[in-house]
Structure 1
Amino acid sequence: MQTLTKLTLAALIWTAPASAETVKGLRTPGEFDSIADQTARSTALFEEMFVVIESPRCLNCHPVGDVPMQGDAMQPHQPPVVRGVGDFGATGMRCSTCHGAENVTFTTGEGSIPGHEPWQLAPIEMGWIGLTAAEVCAQLKDPARNGNRTLADLHEHNATDGLVGWGWEPGEGRTPAPGTQEIFGDLTQAWIDTGAACPAT
């Protein structure tokens, strides 16, 4: 009975190590330390990155066609817009026509107009909607399809780019991307450090 009491007490006071936790729906790199095989750990880290990548905050601006999506339901952009030259919208209907340097909350009703300088679609080579984790991973590692970025460049983009960071501060009426940009950057670096392996599917 005394042993059971001690075990029960230990179970009640046990807490996960500080390095291993989940923050706002995203696991930190420390959560994967127990995976001994480096390739398996790298793959698991990318799959956790994919939790962010497949968020509407990311996918809406990474369409595989010329029309951005919007909202948590990923509906076609209203008013109707197209990619245009340079991914900034068509002449006369540039992204900056409505999207300023910061989010603007509606004065009547609910919601907001997202904003960041610049506001634009990801290049069509970086379209993600409908792709698997394996397909997105291969794309991110391919300089011909990732904006000619090295893995170090990719980490910097994920960890510090302001437009990427908007996904966690999307304005009223939108669900933020899981976790934080800092954790997303940490996951990216941990994925790179373990060999930048891609999932099989």
Structure 2
Amino acid sequence: MSLFRNAMLALAAGTLAAGVLAFADPGFREADAATPPVVNATRLQPISAFAKIKSKNERSAALFQEVGKVIQSPRCMNCHPATERPTQTDKMRPHVPLVVRGEGGVGAAGGLACATCHHEANFDAANVPGNPKWALAPAEMAWQGKTLGQICVQIKDKNRNGGKDMAALVKHMAEDELVGWGWNPGGNRTPAPGTQKQFGELFKAWADSGAVCPKG
């Protein structure tokens, strides 16, 4: 009975999240949808593809451009919103029902918490994503509406990245399970390009090459 009950709760949550638009946010219009740069690449180039770039700085910046295919994909950008409200789907529409970041990125106190609908794993029957660490990125790590160069500078800034040095950043990108969800999003969501292993290797190669940010 508990499994059936959990399934029905998740199904109801998915229905609410996907369909009760008018009641959840009556002011929503399609024109309000987020319009940050979005990358829809499906593959990542291997590190060897950058060996032909003789300038170390140019090679480093090019490596981050490749990393950016993941960073600027909807799977990452949806959880790094410019406002207190996340976005969702490949079209990066404002989250429905209306939710906000709240303390710790898990929803507002006394409001609708992320864990109300997002459980420990994807529930594809209702098209509801899930992960044990489900939460929004800190406001200091808002990426939407920024250029890749700006995001790069932001990622390296210990005052905004949670105090992470480069080694910690590499570990986060290559091993964190919530980051890894981007390649296993379930439902009808497009996975992040490549694999987390490839992404981690490219990020480390960028770090080892001097962590130069693209211009712009």
CA distance in structure 2 between the partners assigned to 1:188 and 1:133 by the alignment: 14
Q: Which aligned pairs between 1:15-94 and structure 2 lie closer than 5 A?
A: 24-91=42-109, 92-94=111-113
CA distance in structure 1 between the partners assigned to 2:67 and 2:94 by the alignment: 25
Q: Which aligned pairs between 1:1-201 and structure 2 lie closer than 5 A?
A: 24-91=42-109, 92-106=111-125, 112-201=127-216
Instruction: Calculate the TM-score normalised by the size of structure 2.
Output: 0.79
CA distance in structure 2 between the partners assigned to 1:24 and 1:175 by the alignment: 9
Q: Which runs of 5+ in 2 are unaligned?
A: 1-40
CA distance in structure 2 between the partners assigned to 1:113 and 1:28 by the alignment: 32
Q: Secondary structure at the match of 2:201?
A: helix
Q: Secondary structure at the match of 2:153?
A: helix
Q: Secondary structure at the match of 2:91?
A: coil
| Structure number, greater radius of gyration | 1
Q: Which runs of 5+ in 1 are unaligned?
A: 1-22
Instruction: Calculate the TM-score normalised by the size of structure 1.
Output: 0.85
CA distance in structure 2 between the partners assigned to 1:39 and 1:177 by the alignment: 26
- Kindly report the root-mean-square deviation, in angstroms, between the aligned alpha carbons of the 2 structures: 1.2
- Share of identical aligned residues, percent? 50
**1:165 to partner: Cα distance:** 0.3
Cα distance per residue 1:11-54 (max 9 Å; x no partner): xxxxxxxxxxxx94111211101111111100000000011100
**1:93 to partner: Cα distance:** 1.2
CA distance in structure 1 between the partners assigned to 2:190 and 2:63 by the alignment: 23
**What residue number does 1:5 align with?**
none
Greater mean alpha carbon deviation, residues 184-193 or residues 26-35: 26-35
Cα distance per residue 1:76-116 (max 9 Å; x no partner): 01111011111110124111111111000126xxxx11000
Alignment coverage as a number of residue pairs: 175
- Runs (4+) of structure 1 exceeding 4 A deviation are none
Q: Which amino acid aligns with 2:152?
A: C
Q: When you count helix as a share of all residues, which structure comes out higher? A: 2
Q: When you count strand as a share of all residues, which structure comes out higher? A: 1
